[in-house]
Amino acid sequence: MHTLEDISSLFENKFYEPPLLIQACGRINIIGEHTDYNDGFVLPASIDRHIYFAIGENGSNECHFHAADIGEECHFSLSDIKKSEKAWANYLMGILQQLQKEDIALEGLDVVFGGNLPVGAGMSSSAALEAGFALGVCSMFNLQKSRRELAQLALRSSHEFVGVPCGIMDQFASLLGRREQAIKLDCRSLHYEYIPLNLGDYELLLVNSGVSHELANSAYKDRVEECATGVRAIQTAYPGVESLRDVTFDQLEACKGAMAELIYRRCRYVLEENERLHQAVEAMDEGNMETLGALMLRTHEGLSKEYEVSCRETDFLVELAKEQPGLAGARMMGGGFGGCTLNLLRKDAKEEFLKKIKREYYRAFSTKAEHYELEVVNGTDIVN
Ligand code: GLA
């Protein structure tokens, strides 16, 4: 855990120059889970959990990265960017590699980073790494790129260098988030609109299961592949279909016999989740928190039973939350297999809620469930 000031002074003590400072945001997602890589819709927001970067040019061809929170370093030459066994370093190197692919001439960089965005909690620390660094490098070298282009560049880096077949939600949310608003993003066209987060007497609260299961990466890839398998089966009857985004419920039903039952369930979840998102936006417009909460609960049910990306711990947290007074809805958030649950809770019920959840969770798993109160803030930016 480091503050912006910590990161800045660590940099100066190491490299003897005042750095460029960047604050990169984590994100929540209100609804629309596992829809982004299916060209669907998502509803994320950037939050006040940050990774802070201090960056300086060093006039050489060498890069020196220092991950302050975990006390690790990584040094390499710009003429020899190859995958590191340090996972965090790849998120940064991949950005540089993408810029090199565009024939952009770079110079060596010194980088120190750290912050208060938990890793493995489903709040997208990896996208914050990519987003913050991409923005910093562009500012350093005066590269004219829009935030949308930076999100796309970070996505290519995740796919091509890091090797994660993720969607664009996290990078987009980190870079384009806005104070007290969620982003309704069409992941196909990248058209987006801001939806005010008027939650009335309610607030959003994260509860961290504290687990991050091994399965997360391989299962994520499996889901991406399963959706693609579903699309191929549907394309035989409906050649115009390019992704699950294009599929109607009737078309899916008509093709049910042409795919394994498991693939059918995965596809149906995605179709339903896109539909839920539109209903959720309507509920938010009307200030109807009960409906929004009910939709979140249905999403959890789908993620757990149909899409099968939840786990015992996050299921437990949601089941327990459901029984508590003042709760409108709760669900696991992000890729799955651990991380946080997102709870839509009446403000006056918070104290009792947390007491109960923490006590029962510890009894069940001998693990402390941390919670995060969050503010939706402007996305990743240079600190002046
Ligand atoms: C991870 C990925 C995102 C998205 C979510 C699930 O956070 O990085 O692209 O697919 O999982 O909604």
Same domain, 225 and 186: no
185 shares its domain with 232: no
Residue 122's domain is classified under what CATH number?
A: 3.30.230.10
Give the Cα separation of 131 and 23 in Å (integer): 10
CA terminus-to-terminus distance, the chain: 22
Write the burial class of residue 278 (CB in 10 Å: 0-12 exposed, 13-18 middle, 19+ buried): middle
The verdict on 222 and 173 lying in the same domain is no
Task: Tell me: do 209 and 236 sit in the same domain.
Answer: yes
- The answer on 182 and 220 residing in a single domain is no
Give residue-wise pLDDT tens across range 268-325: 999 999 999 999 999 999 999 999 999 999 999 999 999 999 999 999 999 999 999 9
- Are residues 214 and 136 both part of a single domain? no
Name the pLDDT band for 217 (thresholds 50, 70, 90).
confident
- The token pair at 218 is 């391989």
Closest CA to 378 of 32, 50, 7: 50
pLDDT value at 29 more than 90: yes
Residues 226 and 367 in one domain: yes
**170 noted as active-site residue:** yes
Cα(211) to centroid of ligand 1, in Å? 17
For 217, the token pair is 């990466």
User: How much is the pLDDT for 368?
Assistant: 96
pLDDT tens column, 131-190 = 999 999 999 999 999 999 999 999 999 999 999 999 999 999 999 999 999 999 999 999
Same domain, 214 and 260: yes
CA distances from 289 to 307, 326, 374 (A): 25, 11, 18
- The answer to whether residues 185 and 234 belong to one domain is no
**36 pocket-lining for ligand 1 (C-beta < 6 Å):** yes
Look up tokens 């991050």; give the residue.
212
Percentage of the residues of the chain whose pLDDT score is greater than 70: 100
29 torsion bin: left (phi>0), alpha (psi -120 to 50), beta (else): beta
Mean of per-residue pLDDT scores for the chain: 97
pLDDT-derived band of residue 229, with 50, 70 and 90 as boundaries? very high
- CATH number, domain at 310? 3.30.70.890
Residues 73 and 108 in one domain: yes
Summarize the confidence of residues 370-375 as an average pLDDT.
Answer: 96
The DSSP secondary structure of 221-269, one letter per residue, reads HHHHHHHHHHHHHHHHH-TT--SGGG--HHHHHHTGGGS-HHHHHHHHH
Question: How many domains does one find in the chain?
Answer: 2
The three-class DSSP label of residue 295 is helix
The domain containing residue 56 runs over which residues? Answer: 4-197+377-382
pLDDT in tens, 327-354: 999 999 999 999 999 999 999 999 999 9
For the CA of 127, the nearest atom of ligand 1:
8
Mutate to test the pocket of ligand 1, among 39, 152, 169, 266 (most ligand atoms within 8 A of CB): 169
Q: How sure is the predictor about 213, in pLDDT bands with cuts at 50, 70 and 90? A: confident
Half-sphere exposure of 289 (CA within 13 A, CB side): 18
Residue with the smallest CA separation from ligand 1 atom 9 is 167
According to DSSP, residue 302 is labeled I
155 and 100 together in one domain: yes
Which of 69, 170, 315, 381 is the catalytic position? 170
Which residue, among 253, 213, 217, 203, has the nearest Cα to 233 in the 3D structure?
253
Task: Judge if 267 and 214 occupy the same domain.
Answer: yes
Residue whose CA is at the smallest distance from ligand 1 atom 8: 166
